[in-house]
Each structure stands twice: as C-alpha cells, then as structure tokens.
Amino acid sequence: MAENRKSADGKISKRELKKQMSRRAAFLFLLFIFAFVALFVRLWDIIQTDGESFRQKVLSQAIQREGDSYIESKRGEIMDRNGIVLAGTRRVYKLIFDAKLIHSLSDADKKNKTLTLLAEHNVRTQAELEKILQEKKEYNYIVLEQEMSYQDFKEIKEAIDSYQVSGLFYEEHNKREYPYPVLAPELIGFVKGDNTGEGGIEEYYNDMLIGETGRKYGILNSKSIAADREVAAVDGYQIMLNIDYSIQKYITDAMNDYLKEHHPKSVTIIVADPRSMEILGLKSYPGFSLDSPYEIEDLERPDDVEMVEKSIVEIITQRKKKILADRTVEFEAEKRRLEEDKKAKEEAAQTAGTPLSAEEKAKLEKALQELEAKRPKLEDVSDGEVIDEQERASIRQNLLLQNRWKNIALTNGYEPGSIFKAITYAIGCEENKIAPDNRYYCSGGLQRANYFINCHKLSGHGYQTAEQGLTNSCNVVFMELGANIGRDLFYEYQRKFGFGSLTGVDLAGETSQRKNIYAKKDLNEVQLATSSFGQGFNVTPIQMITAFSALINGGYLYEPHIVQKVFDTDGNLFEVKDRTLIRQVISEQSSVKIRHALRSVVDEGTGKTAKIAGYEIGGKTATSEKQPRGNGKYTVSFMGFAPVENPEVITLVIVDEPEGAYQDSRIPALIFRNCMEKIMPYLHIFKAEATEAEK
C-alpha cells in the first residue's frame, strides 16, 4: 500500500528515497545517451550535406565572438538651432577576408567569384588578392577595408548576406563625423575610442547621445543549425542647440580676421540672447580640429608647457610625499624598537642590581643617534623612484591636450576689470546709493588704508556724476560708490549676480572661481575699493556675460544654456529646455538706468570703437593688468548689446595678452563691431535711424 511507504509523520523513508533516486538516475542516463546519439547523427548529417555553409557560419561567429559581438548604437546627431548637423554618425563597414577558408574550397568557381567581386568593386586587383592568398593562407581575419561607405559596400554586402560568395564577411561600425571640424570644437567636444564624449556637448550629454548597445549571438535553431540572434541596438537621442551656425561662423570669421595679424594668448567670444541666456555662439582661440583632436600643431605653446611642467612637478612631489610617509612609518617603528630595547636593558640591569656601564649606555645611545641621522627626508626620494621618462612624457602630453580641449569660456578665471563697474553702478542704483545730484571728485587716485590707488587717468577726471564716471571709466568714482554700498551689500550682490558660483551652463568642465572672489570677511577697505572697479577677483567669461545680461534685461539672472531641444530615437520631441530663471537681481527701473548709461559709454565714452552707425548699442570696455602686476601683460575685453531699449543680443569679446602696443580695449571693441555688423541684420535687429550715407 502506498501509505506503507511513508513513515508515521507522512515523510518518505530514507530507503524508499534512495530507491526512487537510483531509478531516476538510470532514466536520466538513458535519456542522455539517446540525446547524445541523436546529436551525433545530426552533426554527421550536417557535416556531410551542408558542410561549408555550416563551417562558414560557425567560423564567422567564432571570429565575431573573439572580436566584437556587440552591435554599436548610432550616436545621436548634434544640430544647430536651424537643424544644420554639427556632429553626425555614418555607418561604415569593415571588410574581412578569410584566406584560409578560400584555400580550403574545392570548387574553383567559388573562389573566383569572391575574387572577381572584390576586383569589380576596386577593393583589390585579382593579382593582389592571389598574392594575399599565397602569403597569408593560414589567416582567416585579413582586413581589406577599414571604413567602407554604405554606397561602396552595398553590393558586396548583398552578396555576403545572401551567401553568394565565400570567404568574406564584415563588421558594421559607426563613425562620428564633424562636418565643420574647426567651427566650434571645444563647444561640441569629440568622441574617444571607447565611444564616450570628451568635452563640450559630447561629454555633457553623453548619456543621451550614446544610445544602447545591441548584441549579436549564435544559437542552434530547431533544426539544430547555427543561427544568429540579435538584440537590436537603440540609437541615441538627437540634440538641437541654441547655437546658430551663421552666428558661430560670423564670430569665427571676426576672430580669424584679428588673428591674421596678431598673436594673443587667447581670445574668447560669446554671443547670447539676454532675454533667456540662450547661447547663440561661443568660440575660443587657440582651438583644435575635431578631425584630429590628438594631433595639434602648436600644442607646445611656451605658457602652456610652463604650466604643464609645474603640474608635473606637483604630481612628482605628491608621489614623493607618499613614499616619505611610508618610509617614516618604517623609521618610527625601528626607532621605537631601539628605544624599547634600551629601556628593557636598563630595567633588566636595574632589577639585577648591576647598573649598565657608561660604555654600554653610550653604545645604546649611539645606535639611536645613528638611526636618527638616517631619518627619511623628501630630498632623498629621487624623481626616478616615482616616475620614469615614459610616464612623464605621457602625463605631459595628456595634460597639454587636456589644456587645449578645455573650454576657456567656462574655465579661465580672469579679472573682469572695468566691465564690472556696470555692476557696481547697478548695485548703487538698486540700493539708492547714487543720488541724481551726486558728484564725485577724481584727482587721479584715492587713498585707501596704506595704499594710494590710481585712476587710469593719473591727472584726474575732476568732478563727475556716477553716470559720467561710468562713461569715463573712472576708478575713483567706483571706489567711492563701493564704499557707499559697503562690504556686506557689495558681497551679497556679487553672489546674487552669480560670481563665485557655477552658472549651470550645460557644457562639461565649468569652474566656479569660488576661491577667487573675496570672502566677505576678507573684503577690507582696499579689497572693497579695487573690487568695485573689477580688480582683485576672478570671474569666468560665461559668468560675466550671464551677470551682465541680468543687468540689461530687466534684472533677471537666467541660467545660460546651449541645448534647446532633445529628440528621442524615433525623432519625437523628448525635451524642451526652457529658460530657467535663477533669481531677479535688480529691478526693471535700475536696469533701464544702467542701459542708458551703457549707451553713453558707446556714444561718447570709452566704447566709441564699438559704435555701428545707425544702431543703438550699449556696452562697456575693460583693460586689466594681469597678476603679477608690472609685467606688462593685460586682458582687454568688451561687452556690448543691442538694441538699447529692448536688448535682443549680447556679445562678450575677451583678448588675453594682446601683443605690445595693442594692449588697448579698442581691440575687443573692434572685434565686437565686426561680429555685430553681421549678427544684427541676421537677427533682424534694425537701425534706429538712417545713417548720413543712407539719407
């Protein structure tokens, strides 16, 4: 009875379990033998009837598995605001020749078919292929073409896919292409060998652009024939920028015009819509080409080399310090051991009642002294212990490249100089620190604590209103105004305008310059005075244009952004990047006042060079002597916008270390004018009045 098999608590007895298991094992064994025989018969059948095609497939898979069995996703395009492709992806084909297989073919027709196909498509001549066959008869992975276009490869692909030819197979790859490789390299970025973005949009939006890799793998299908299975790749999203190809071209041309005859250290131009902080154009010099980012002709510019060498010394010192720390640990352990030894001997002698002799004491003391003389020192660690020539050269090259690829509009801290006076002026307006009847007297400078701080006009500007002070770019007026505003308010506004913070721009590598603006507690009389006219602290170009836009757009600080829209794999709109208000910094009324004051700077003040007949333009110049002062190195810049009443475009031009006699803020004002003469008509910003010539 079935019940008998179970014990009282309903469980199967051990003996019965053993019996069942051995029965099962026997059954499984028989099944296994049967399956094995069936498989063997089937394999024999395949080898007999379908040998070559089977062999080809298995081989092809084995090779693919050895190499890359993943299917690359297509990286999404990057377009300008009008759909012009700035970064695209093209499918290319790697054509591989299997000499070993062709050799093994018994059918001469099959071999000839392959060779003829290749010769017809100008891959190789028949003779060349015969030579390869002779010389590489043992090879089954000979790359004939690395990057065939679809156009050139189409017919070969069809022949391979339909098994019309033997001994040929291919791999598909996606190749990133930049139709305008020098137009905006640091803005676009590029793609490294592992398909990740380096710099710019390619890095910042890598996750969206990259898509998902697919997979190809072999299985045995129902007829036990090897077949390919595919998990398709998902293509990356497409990104549409706020950048306008034409504006980018205009600023590139204006920059190149200047560079034809001049050799500054760097130039930066940013064009934005101040109503939203959409970045319309962004360009810096020196650049590189997206076609060959690793091969840069003038990579070893003296200043860059000097900076990189300093970094290498820093790296070496850090490594040496680490070695020193390890050695010091060992040293201290040895020292402790000697001290304990000495102590133990003294105690033992004490206990025994026979104190150590003077000689023995001296010996123990000497051992300690000798050890102390060997205390590890940093200078005893040699360069060779921490770095070899090869590594040094590789670090050097890498740092030089990184330095060139970075986007200086986001990373380079510079003293804003007199352009910052517009901000101090706005704070004064907003906080009612400027009365209409305010008069400031400039005698050529001002005493602050122990320093006499000069105005750029050493003979003095005499009596001026705050607005005249801005037009004349008088330092004294702004030192006085800064003092009226006071340390707390000044610092508060500096932070409100975004200085010392990341702007949040959607590009890789931005720096905040946080440590380069004075902390409130350090903003003493002298620092407050110099900060008020834009010296003594650093900003980045992107911070400066973002803050300045808030000055003129009614007081609204927006987050600068490069990307406008994102489209998904199927081309559907996925995301729209609207303007993002960070905060309102000043009132509409103060903004109106500052716009009018900045117009007089261009109409009758230091910014006259930027004037374009018929247009209403506001702007501000800046010339700042670089640290350390007295070396004759300057940064000159110009910030301008139009139209004055309702600004639609703002442009910042910075020239770092222009040569010799040209250290003049008229240089960037001139570049600004060259840009704006093209940009304003392009943006349908019209002249407010007809010029003399037009009348």
352 vs 458, beta carbon nearer Zn ion? 458
Q: Which residues pair with 374 in a beta bridge?
A: none
Question: Least Å distance between CB 535 and Zn ion?
Answer: 14
Question: Least Å distance between CB 473 and Zn ion?
Answer: 8
CA distance 32 to 437: 105
Contact, 312 vs 395, CB < 8 A?
Answer: yes
Give the range of 86-94, 222-230, 413-421, 439-447 binding Zn ion by CB under 5 A.
439-447
**461 makes contact with Zn ion (CB under 5 A):** yes
Give the range of 45-53, 153-161, 300-308, 475-483 binding Zn ion by CB under 5 A.
475-483
Give the range of 35-43, 370-378, 437-445, 486-494 binding Zn ion by CB under 5 A.
437-445
455 vs 529, beta carbon nearer Zn ion? 455
Contact, 648 vs 428, CB < 8 A?
Answer: no
Question: Least Å distance between CB 379 and Zn ion?
Answer: 52
Question: Least Å distance between CB 269 and Zn ion?
Answer: 29
CB-side neighbour CA atoms (13 Å) of 172? 19
Q: Binders of Zn ion among 344-383, rule CB under 5 A?
A: none
The set of long-range contacts for 591-594, using a CB threshold of 8 Å and a minimum separation of 24, is 591/426, 591/551, 591/552, 591/553, 591/554, 591/555, 593/426, 593/429, 594/422, 594/425, 594/426, 594/429, 594/551, 594/552
Give the range of 203-211, 450-458, 540-548, 658-666 binding Zn ion by CB under 5 A.
450-458
User: How many amino acids of this chain bind Zn ion (CB under 5 A)?
Assistant: 6
Q: Which amino acid is at 163?
A: Y
Question: Least Å distance between CB 667 and Zn ion?
Answer: 22
Question: Least Å distance between CB 609 and Zn ion?
Answer: 20
Question: Least Å distance between CB 455 and Zn ion?
Answer: 3
Decide: helix, strand or coil at residue 101: helix
Give the range of 64-72, 362-370, 468-476, 566-574 binding Zn ion by CB under 5 A.
468-476
Question: Least Å distance between CB 445 and Zn ion?
Answer: 8
**476 makes contact with Zn ion (CB under 5 A):** yes
Question: Least Å distance between CB 606 and Zn ion?
Answer: 12
Give the range of 175-183, 337-345, 451-459, 637-645 binding Zn ion by CB under 5 A.
451-459
**481 makes contact with Zn ion (CB under 5 A):** no
CA distance 301 to 314: 20
Question: Least Å distance between CB 539 and Zn ion?
Answer: 23
174 vs 606, beta carbon nearer Zn ion? 606
CA distance 169 to 142: 10
Question: Least Å distance between CB 670 and Zn ion?
Answer: 24
- What is the chain's length? 695
Question: Which residues in 146-185 are b (16+ Cβ under 10 Å) and which e?
Answer: eebeeebbeebbebbeeeebbbbbbbbebebebebbebbb
Q: Binders of Zn ion among 198-217, rule CB under 5 A?
A: none
**610 makes contact with Zn ion (CB under 5 A):** no
Question: Least Å distance between CB 650 and Zn ion?
Answer: 27
448 vs 461, beta carbon nearer Zn ion? 461
Give the range of 6-14, 106-114, 466-474, 589-597 binding Zn ion by CB under 5 A.
466-474
**Residues with Cβ within 8 Å of residue 338, at least 6 apart in sequence:** 364, 367, 368, 371
H/E stretch holding 47 reads helix 14-66
Report DSSP state, residue 662. Answer: G
461 vs 673, beta carbon nearer Zn ion? 461
**442 makes contact with Zn ion (CB under 5 A):** yes
CB-side neighbour CA atoms (13 Å) of 401? 17
**What mask of x and - would describe binding to Zn ion in positions 553 to 572, judged by CB under 5 A?**
--------------------
Of 198, 172, 177, which Cα lies nearest the Cα of 91?
A: 172
**342 makes contact with Zn ion (CB under 5 A):** no
Give the range of 210-218, 452-460, 615-623, 624-632 binding Zn ion by CB under 5 A.
452-460
CA distance 383 to 281: 45
Per CB under 5 A, the list member of 239, 400, 455, 551 interacting with Zn ion is 455
Contact, 173 vs 92, CB < 8 A?
Answer: yes
Q: For tokens 């049967």, name the residue.
A: 34
Decide: helix, strand or coil at residue 464: strand
Q: Binders of Zn ion among 244-283, rule CB under 5 A?
A: none
**474 makes contact with Zn ion (CB under 5 A):** yes
Give the range of 308-316, 433-441, 471-479, 492-500 binding Zn ion by CB under 5 A.
471-479
CA distances from 247 to 266, 267, 287, 679 (A): 20, 17, 18, 6
Binding stretches for Zn ion (CB under 5 A): 442, 455, 457, 461, 474, 476
